[in-house]
Structure 1
Amino acid sequence: MSTLFEKLDDGRAGIRLYGIAPPKLASTPERLRDIAAEQVDRLRLLAPDGLVVYDIQDEPGRGGQERPFPFLPTVDPEVYARAGLAELAIPKIVYRCVGAQPREEFSGWIDDVRSTAGRHVRVFVGAPRGRSHRPGFPLAEAYALAHAASNLVIGGIAIAERHIAKEDEHHRMLAKQDHGCRFFITQSVYDAGATKSLLSDYALSLRTSGRSPVPVVLTFSPCGSVRTLEFMKWLGISFPRWLENELRHSADTLERSVDLCERVFVEVQDYAREKRLPIGINVESVSIRKSEIDASVELYRRLSSHLGR
């Protein structure tokens, strides 16, 4: 079976990822060990190509709306991936919010990566929305500094909703590729039409410029309640009216969301194959509720089976 690095090096379709948020910073050491042990056991059974560990930041000014759930700081994703999940022998794809740290700190981190054995995978993201005082610096500079670490594989974010609003996300993707991005991970997908529009413009731009695509990993997240739906909308995730109605009025929102995610993925995958774009999956499990964790496992298995066809 091909490894994550082989798929990235060859620009292949079929990357399978599973995404988690680090535990809450207020967790006791005993609770941290229990959470890590449960996650390690679950991931060993699923055997994804890699694990995504998110860098959760507060975004107080997003859309001018009040956050549906309170922000609770989490354990540093770098620390959790390295120490808390040390037993898990798969690549960790850690998100790094370069807009939330000074340049000197980031440069020091790059030096640490260079001196550490093995290959590392990181996804760079900009500053959280609404932050008035930004200690960080532009993504382009982060990519330039990252070139010093030859053992570092960099990924980028692709957001279909931003493309619908500004019609330039495909240009952002190409610029990130030029800066060394080897793959993209999307925001959670519920709007097949928006995602297909982004992929269409990306494919056309590649053809016009004579460039090859890199893998686009589509993220999917089970939605367990109407309140979770509101939170996902607050995050900027787009729900077509018909699909939102299905979730709001379903007798079992969680089960319905898994079915709808599978339906959306099949539609987008078929379109991506027509455009000869290499597609992968990333199924998120960011909830602490057992029912939602179980739903993410079921969704991962369903999408993984489609990906292999």
Structure 2
Amino acid sequence: MDLVQTIRAGQGGFLLFGITPPKASTPPDKLRQITESTLARLEAADPDGVALYDIAEEQDRNPEARPFPFLPTLDPGDFCAQHLLAWQKPAVIYRAVGKYSEAQLAGWMREQPADQVMTVLVGASSSKQIGATSLSRAYDLRQEVRPDLLAGAVVIPERHTGRGDEHLRMLNKQEAGVCFFVSQILYDANAAKNLLADYADECEARGVAPKPVVFTLSVCGSVKTLDFLAWLGVKVPHWMQRDLRRAENTLDASCEQARMIASDMVQYGRRIGVPVGLNVESVSSRRVEIEAAVQLAVDLRPILQG
């Protein structure tokens, strides 16, 4: 599959594997080891593209103490271009636009090979955060300097449950040039299906084609990880939290839930005519969770092809 052409054509059925770059403080010898391990992980998962996250501290997201400490990472674009040279498939590079000036963003966009690199432009985590560049201005910049560079946006199904207007946000971003959407980690399939239904209906009402929507799945190997998801604002249904907390093996239980959610979303997208892709997020440093994420990606491929 040519991921760039698939998304450009407005089609789904593709698989991404999402990772974070190594910590900025990583010494050179350790960085080489991490790079080799990352490439081996990607080879085993065999996704259609890799997604590299741009990590921001986002302390304003939640006043409560962060369950895991924030540690700055290498720039995702630099890590991909300088270290993942053996990766031959496309990359989706996230950009937390508030971290960069307009000149920095525009310069980075101009340098990217549009047949190999896409971007997801991410705005502030809260209205209180004032960044160097706003999300709306970042969309304008892409249109001005690199309209051929495919741009995606974050979509949050749970926000639709509370506000009821996430599908309108999607259409506004679509009008600004966004050609695919990627969700945060999804545990609430009902929230996602309600969003897809409203999005499909609004696209039909406006006479426009729906863009691919990529749902992110992840493994949860411990109660502490579950607490971190809550800190990030990820909504895990009460019944699922109960099951995960009481499971003999939290990791196995979360993988089973992820597979069921993935199947549910792919089938529902097909039924209502919204192209759906999947993204397996693997950001843990624990080997058992890394291996589980790789296996989850392998397990999801038949769901996409079915």
Shared topology, TM-score over 0.5?
Answer: yes
Q: Could you tell me whether the CA contact under 8 Å between 1:61 and 1:130 is conserved in 2?
A: no
* Offset from partner CA, 1:134-184 (integer Å, 9 cap, x none): 2222x2221111122144111111111111121111011111111111111
Equivalent in the alignment of 1:247:
244
What SS is found at the alignment partner of 1:152?
coil
Equivalent in the alignment of 1:222:
219
Q: How far apart are residue 268 of structure 1 and its match?
A: 2.1
Q: How far apart are residue 119 of structure 1 and its match?
A: 4.5
* Offset from partner CA, 1:92-116 (integer Å, 9 cap, x none): 1000011222223223323334xx5
Of 145-154 and 185-194, the range deviating more from structure 2: 145-154
Percent identity over the alignment is: 39
Q: 1: distance between equivalents of 2:141 and 2:77?
A: 18
Identify which of 260, 264, 267 aligns with 2:261.
Answer: 264
Instruction: In structure 2, give the amino acid aligned to 1:62.
Output: R
Identify which of 166, 178, 195 aligns with 1:181.
Answer: 178
Q: 1: distance between equivalents of 2:41 and 2:110?
A: 33
Q: How far apart are residue 241 of structure 1 and its match?
A: 1.0
Question: Residues 206 and 71 from structure 1, CA distance in 2 versus in 1: closer, same or farther, beyond 3 angstroms?
Answer: same
Stretches of structure 2 lacking an aligned partner (at least 5 in a row): none
Q: How far apart are residue 133 of structure 1 and its match?
A: 4.4
Q: How far apart are residue 47 of structure 1 and its match?
A: 2.2
Q: Could you tell me whether the CA contact under 8 Å between 1:96 and 1:125 is conserved in 2?
A: yes
Question: Residues 117 and 219 from structure 1, CA distance in 2 versus in 1: closer, same or farther, beyond 3 angstroms?
Answer: closer
Q: Does residue 98 of structure 2 align to residue 99 of structure 1? A: yes
Q: Does residue 7 of structure 2 align to residue 11 of structure 1? A: no
Q: Does residue 36 of structure 2 align to residue 37 of structure 1? A: yes
Q: How far apart are residue 26 of structure 1 and its match?
A: 1.4
Q: Could you tell me whether the CA contact under 8 Å between 1:58 and 1:128 is conserved in 2?
A: no
Q: How far apart are residue 205 of structure 1 and its match?
A: 0.5
Q: Could you tell me whether the CA contact under 8 Å between 2:45 and 2:295 is conserved in 1?
A: no
Instruction: In structure 1, give the amino acid aligned to 2:55.
Output: I
TM-score w.r.t. length of structure 1: 0.94
Q: Does residue 185 of structure 2 align to residue 158 of structure 1? A: no
Q: How far apart are residue 84 of structure 1 and its match?
A: 1.4
Equivalent in the alignment of 2:141:
145
Number of aligned residues: 305
Equivalent in the alignment of 2:59:
60
Stretches of structure 1 lacking an aligned partner (at least 5 in a row): none
